[in-house]
């Protein structure tokens, strides 16, 4: 068991915020045992075996004695590692400075975003606090923090952690739900054996994932190189240099509106979520009411090119060709439609737009925020459009398609390898937390003994706090945080 919390005298004069540390409930709150627990194992919750702490908000206004300190947030926490090359600062009263200090082997868990993503704070020097988008878990003696870290990843991979999250638009993990998270806990020596075995297996899987990532990056770079070489800038002297408006007709799709969600003329339509680079996904089509005259205006024809009108900057203008399947489909104003004029092959237009996407040309015309930008029809119309003779367009398109088809054959292999690695990761976790990854040792002290010891020491310190309340606030605070 950890010794009482070390705190500076200024910290001891200030009672901690009511929502900072939460006392765990009685171990009997685990109302039903897991079936078929291995020998020496027991069912418990995160709140029973650890001290948990909310992160710090910067919301003190005119409070005196404010200091500015370094802090980490969820952007610093990755699965199994913490990146501290860039950290933010936060203002905090001096009296609460020690409450949010990170100690070696603290487990940091993301509250929002990739819920449950967690990593262990390393043995580093210097002060560091954690912000309110993280939960801090500090396990008691007899609990291996690596075991808890892998348990959080297991819960995330299995989808069970989502059951503990709340919120409709933005999902997040509350302190109460985190503390109620149930787990099967083996004896301490077995916890360490499981963690060591998982570290060994995951190291091999991580190496495989890294290799696949390198292959994917090379495929992407090779694709970019092929596209840039196929449509060179500046263009050859015998090519025409025109604008998109001169090469074809650009139209904006129909705006969505609640009044159009129902009606007698429901038609499927494409939106940003359906249009990827050189690929249209029609597995999730939505419908809208299109009166006949409107449908004819927004109806897609075979070989129309669709470009993302609104996207994050790196995907702005992402193009794909509609190839007539499914038939009778329209498009919304989150997309732009390009219909080639005589003298321009639709396949060539797609090649030019893909080249502009990879070269960052569309970003130069973007307007919006750092997270969502827009490419208006007016701005697309003025983008440069190289136009070689038709016969040369045909030759270049055929050559590029041959090259891209060759390297895209790697895509199914890469996808299958990633899926297999994910399945192996999940299977290893399942076996580990069911007690089947490493052998049991009858000489190990049952975890129930450790849980009884935690219960007894917590009860003792709770009684000490009640006795000292009102007489010695400084000592009481130190004991209450234990």
Mean pLDDT of 247-271: 93
Please say if the pLDDT value at position 21 is more than 80. no
List the one residue out of 230, 216, 202 whose CA is nearest residue 401. 230
Greater confidence, 359 or 95?
359
pLDDT at position 359? 94
How much of the chain exceeds pLDDT 90, in percent? 70
Please say if the pLDDT value at position 74 is more than 90. yes
- 3-state SS assignment for residue 338: strand
pLDDT at position 461? 72
- 3-state SS assignment for residue 304: coil
Greater confidence, 85 or 301?
301
How much of the chain exceeds pLDDT 70, in percent? 86
Q: How far is C-alpha 104 from the geometric centre of its chain's CA atoms? A: 25
30-37 contacts, C-beta under 8 A, 24 or more apart:
30/182, 34/184, 37/184, 37/435
* pLDDT tens, residue by residue, 134-166: 999 999 999 999 999 999 999 999 999 999 999
List the one residue out of 25, 46, 30, 44 whose CA is nearest residue 178. 46
Dihedral (CA of 416, 421, 426, 431) sign: positive
**Gap between the Cα atoms of 32 and 98, Å rounded:** 37
Mean pLDDT of 308-328: 91
**Gap between the Cα atoms of 200 and 360, Å rounded:** 41
> What totals of helices (H) and strands (E) does the chain contain, helices first?
13, 25
Q: How confident is the model at residue 24 (pLDDT cuts 50, 70, 90)?
A: very low
Q: Where are the alpha helices (DSSP H) in 180-282?
A: 188-230, 244-247
Mean pLDDT of the chain: 86
Query: With contact defined as beta carbons under 8 Å apart, do 102 and 137 qualify?
Result: no
Mean pLDDT of 288-309: 95
List the one residue out of 458, 455, 479 whose CA is nearest residue 469. 479
């Amino acid at each position: 068991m950890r010794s009482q919390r070390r705190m500076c005298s200024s910290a001891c004069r200030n009672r901690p915020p009511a929502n900072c540390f939460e006392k765990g409930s009685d171990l009997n709150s685990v109302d039903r045992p897991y079936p078929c627990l291995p020998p020496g194992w027991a069912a418990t919750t995160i709140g029973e075996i650890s001290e948990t702490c909310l992160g710090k908000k910067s919301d003190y206004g005119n409070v005196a004695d404010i200091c500015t300190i370094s802090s980490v947030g969820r952007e610093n926490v990755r699965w199994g590692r913490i990146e501290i090359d860039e950290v933010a600062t936060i203002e905090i009263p001096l009296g609460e400075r020690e409450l949010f200090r990170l100690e070696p082997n603290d487990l940091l868990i993301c509250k929002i975003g990739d819920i449950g993503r967690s990593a262990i704070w390393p043995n580093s020097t210097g002060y560091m606090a954690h912000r309110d988008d993280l939960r801090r878990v500090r396990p008691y003696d007899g609990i291996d923090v690596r075991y808890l870290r892998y348990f959080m990843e297991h819960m995330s991979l299995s989808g069970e952690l989502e059951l503990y999250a709340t919120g409709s638009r933005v999902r997040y993990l509350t302190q109460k739900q985190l503390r109620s998270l149930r787990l099967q806990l083996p004896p301490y020596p077995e916890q360490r054996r499981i963690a060591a075995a998982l570290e060994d297996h995951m190291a091999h899987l991580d190496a495989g994932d890294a290799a696949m990532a390198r292959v994917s990056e090379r495929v992407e770079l090779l694709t970019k190189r092929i596209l840039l070489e196929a449509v060179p800038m500046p263009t050859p002297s015998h090519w025409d240099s025109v604008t998109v408006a001169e090469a074809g007709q650009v139209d904006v799709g129909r705006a969505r509106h609640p009044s159009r969600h129902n009606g007698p003329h429901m038609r499927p339509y494409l939106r940003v979520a359906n249009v990827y680079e050189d690929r249209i996904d029609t597995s999730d089509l939505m419908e809208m009411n299109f009166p006949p005259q409107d449908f004819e205006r927004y109806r897609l024809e075979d070989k129309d090119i669709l470009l993302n009108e609104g996207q994050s900057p790196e995907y702005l203008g992402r193009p794909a060709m509609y190839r007539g399947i499914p038939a009778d489909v329209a498009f919304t104003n989150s997309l732009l439609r390009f219909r080639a004029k005589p003298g321009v092959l639709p396949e060539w237009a797609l090649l030019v737009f893909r080249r502009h996407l990879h070269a960052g040309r569309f970003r130069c015309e973007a307007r919006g925020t750092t997270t969502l930008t827009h490419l208006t029809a007016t701005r697309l119309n003025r983008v440069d459009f190289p136009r070689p003779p038709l016969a040369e367009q045909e030759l270049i398109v055929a050559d590029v398609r041959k090259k891209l088809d060759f390297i895209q054959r790697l895509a199914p292999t890469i996808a299958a390898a990633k899926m297999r690695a994910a399945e192996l990761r999940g299977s290893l976790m399942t076996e580990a937390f069911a007690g089947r990854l490493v052998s049991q040792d009858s000489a190990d002290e049952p975890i129930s003994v450790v849980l009884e010891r935690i219960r007894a020491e917590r009860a003792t310190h709770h009684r000490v706090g009640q006795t000292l309340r009102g007489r010695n606030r400084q000592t009481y605070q130190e004991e209450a945080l234990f």
